[in-house]
């Protein structure tokens, strides 16, 4: 058992260990870094964490990051309402936006279908996507899912959920880095995959 023998520091290390990609060693480094900072900075950091966590919630339409009821994309009248890009996570949505290659709207699934890992797409996410399409005006649903077996299964599950609705469903073309999420792709690759999307 690691730990430094000072309860408050050990408690901090335990908390930091939960961060993605941070193991015991990384958590200890962060903890010592924090201990070496001015108290003001530590106060600012904890305030920033609290503010972000408390004020952010999923957009009531697309499930993306929002501070009020709607995310900035859903409340932007300039965004194309006819095209919905389906992504696995809020992070993937941010990744797509960073490249500025898409002017439609999004739908965040908040999970993927992976029977082997016992994971499934939250049923509310599929229901609300169906709802958006049923309300009309949506011409195309583009599935921007990971180029992996799980991404493939997730795409099929979404396609199936929309099967009886009069909407075109397409997928990003191949060429994306295999295994990673779409967040790993560079702008040029993602743009090509979006332009070369194919119907399902
Ligand atoms: Zn939204």
DSSP-assigned beta bridge partners for residue 186: none
Give the rounded percent of residues in the chain with a pLDDT score beyond 70: 96
Q: How far is the CA of 166 from the centre of ligand 1 (A)?
A: 22
pLDDT digits (tens, 9 = 90+) for 84-112: 999 999 999 998 999 888 999 999 999 99
Taking 60 as the threshold, does the pLDDT of residue 1 lie above it? no
Q: How far is the CA of 74 from the centre of ligand 1 (A)?
A: 4
Burial environment of residue 131 by CB neighbours within 10 A (0 to 12, 13 to 18, 19 or more): exposed
Q: How far is the CA of 197 from the centre of ligand 1 (A)?
A: 23
Domain locations in the chain as residue ranges: 7-55, 58-199
Q: How far is the CA of 46 from the centre of ligand 1 (A)?
A: 27
User: What integer best gives the mean pLDDT of the chain?
Assistant: 92
What CA–CA distance (Å, rounded) separates 130 from 138?
A: 11
Architecture of domain 58-199: 3-Layer(aba) Sandwich (3.40)
Place of tokens 């003001």: 40
Q: How far is the CA of 122 from the centre of ligand 1 (A)?
A: 17
- ∠151-153-137 over CA atoms, to 5°? 80
What is the SS3 assignment for 64? Answer: coil
Tell me the pLDDT band of 179, cut-offs 50, 70 and 90: low
Place of tokens 């690759």: 189
Tell me the pLDDT band of 198, cut-offs 50, 70 and 90: confident
**What is the CATH number that goes with domain 7-55?**
1.10.8.420
Please report, for residues 75, 106, 130, 137, the alpha-carbon distance to residue 70 in angstroms, rounded to integers and kept in the order given: 6, 12, 18, 19
Q: How far is the CA of 65 from the centre of ligand 1 (A)?
A: 7
Q: How far is the CA of 99 from the centre of ligand 1 (A)?
A: 18
Tell me the pLDDT band of 188, cut-offs 50, 70 and 90: confident
Q: How far is the CA of 18 from the centre of ligand 1 (A)?
A: 28
């Amino acid at each position: 058992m690691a730990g430094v023998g000072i309860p408050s520091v050990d408690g901090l290390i335990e908390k930091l260990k939960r961060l993605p990609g941070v193991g015991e060693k990384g958590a200890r480094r962060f903890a010592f870094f924090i201990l070496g900072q001015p108290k003001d900075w530590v106060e600012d950091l904890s305030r920033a964490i609290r503010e972000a966590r408390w004020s952010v919630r999923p957009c009531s339409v697309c499930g993306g990051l929002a501070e009020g009821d709607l995310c900035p994309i859903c409340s932007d009248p300039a965004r194309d309402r006819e095209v919905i890009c389906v992504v696995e996570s809020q992070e993937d949505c941010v990744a797509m936006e960073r490249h500025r290659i898409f002017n439609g709207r999004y739908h965040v699934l908040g999970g993927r279908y992976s029977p082997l890992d016992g994971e499934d797409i939250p049923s509310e996410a599929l229901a609300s996507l169906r709802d958006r399409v049923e309300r009309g005006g949506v011409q195309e649903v583009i599935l921007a899912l990971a180029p992996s077996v799980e991404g493939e299964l997730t795409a099929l599950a979404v396609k199936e959920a929309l099967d009886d609705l009069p909407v075109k469903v397409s997928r990003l073309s191949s060429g994306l880095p295999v295994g990673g999420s779409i967040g790993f792709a560079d702008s040029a690759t993602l743009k090509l995959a979006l332009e070369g999307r194919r119907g399902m």
